[in-house]
Amino acid sequence: MDTSRTFPIAAEPYEFEFTPAKCALLIIDMQRDFLEPGGFGEMLGNDVSQLRRTIGPNRLLLAAWRARGLAVIHTREGHRPDLGDLPPAKKIRGRSASCIGDTGPMGRILVRGEPGHDIIPELYPLPSEPVIDKPGKGAFWATDLHAILQNRGITQLVVTGVTTEVCVNTSVREANDRGFDCFVPSDCVGSYFPEFQEMGLRMIKAQGGIFGWVGHSTALLDVLQ
Ligand code: C5J
C-alpha cells in the first residue's frame, strides 16, 4: 500500500480525503480513571460502559495504524504532583467532595504518575508513541503537540477517545484552528451521556464540516487492511 496516496473515505458532511502518511491517530485521554469500573468517573456516578464500548474499535484502529507504521499519539489529562499547573477555578469547580489532587479510588485524582491517570492496558502506548500530558481539556494548550505534528509533516488527524463533548471536541476545535483536517470515527469516541455523544458529533460536522468530518472506523480500516 502506498501510504502517500489519498483515499476518499465515507464521512459526513462529505468524504474525507485520507492521506495515511500525513495523518496521525490522536487518542484522547483513554485513562483508567475515566474508563475503569472503580475509577474516578464511576465514583462520580457516571456509567463507564458508555465509554468502554469504544475500547474494541480503538484497539482495531490502533493495530491497523501500528501495522502500517503510521503516526500514533496519545494524550492524558492530568496535573503535576505539586498541582502548580492546576488553576484554582478548575480545582474547586463542581463543589465535589473529592477534587483533583485528592486521594481517589486509583490514587490521587488526575495527578501524573498515579495509577488512575495512566492509559488503560488495552491501548497502552508503545515507547515510540508520544504521550502528551495536558493540563487542560484541549490537547494543544500548554503542550508540545503542535510542534510534534509539524516536525512529522502531519496535516490530518483521526481523533478518538473520551469524552466526545469535552476533551475530544476541544482538541478537534484547537486542531481545526491550527489548520489540521480532523476525522472523528463515531464508534471510537464516547460520552457518559448519550445526548452529548450525539450533539458532540453533530457540532463537529455541522455547517459543511465546521470543525471536521464524522464517520466510522470501518471506513479507515477498509483502506488500511
Ligand atoms: C475528558 C473530562 N477527557 N471530561 N475530560 O473529556 O473532564
- Tell me which residue has cell 474516578: 40
> Residue 140 contacts by C-beta under 8 Å, 6 or more apart in sequence?
146, 171, 174, 175, 178
Which tens digits make up the pLDDT trace of 10-67?
Answer: 999 999 999 999 999 999 999 999 999 999 999 999 999 999 999 999 999 999 999 9
pLDDT band at 96 (very low <50, low <70, confident <90, very high): confident
The pLDDT value recorded for residue 189 is: 99
Q: Is 33 in the pocket of ligand 1 (CB under 6 A)?
A: no
124 DSSP assignment: P
d(CA 137, CA 56): 24
* Ligand 1 pocket test target in 46, 50, 120, 137 with most atoms within 8 Å of CB: 137
pTM of the complete model: 0.98
Report the nearest atom of ligand 1 relative to the CA of 28.
Answer: 3
How much distance in Å is there from the Cα of 3 to the middle of ligand 1?
A: 32
> Residue 129 contacts by C-beta under 8 Å, 6 or more apart in sequence?
72, 73, 74
Q: Is 119 in the pocket of ligand 1 (CB under 6 A)?
A: no
Which tens digits make up the pLDDT trace of 153-206?
Answer: 999 999 999 999 999 999 999 999 999 999 999 999 999 999 999 999 999 999
Torsion angles phi and psi, residue 192, rounded to 5: -65, -20
How much distance in Å is there from the Cα of 166 to the middle of ligand 1?
A: 5
Q: Is 110 in the pocket of ligand 1 (CB under 6 A)?
A: no
Report the nearest atom of ligand 1 relative to the CA of 166.
Answer: 6
Q: Is 166 in the pocket of ligand 1 (CB under 6 A)?
A: yes
Q: Is 163 in the pocket of ligand 1 (CB under 6 A)?
A: yes
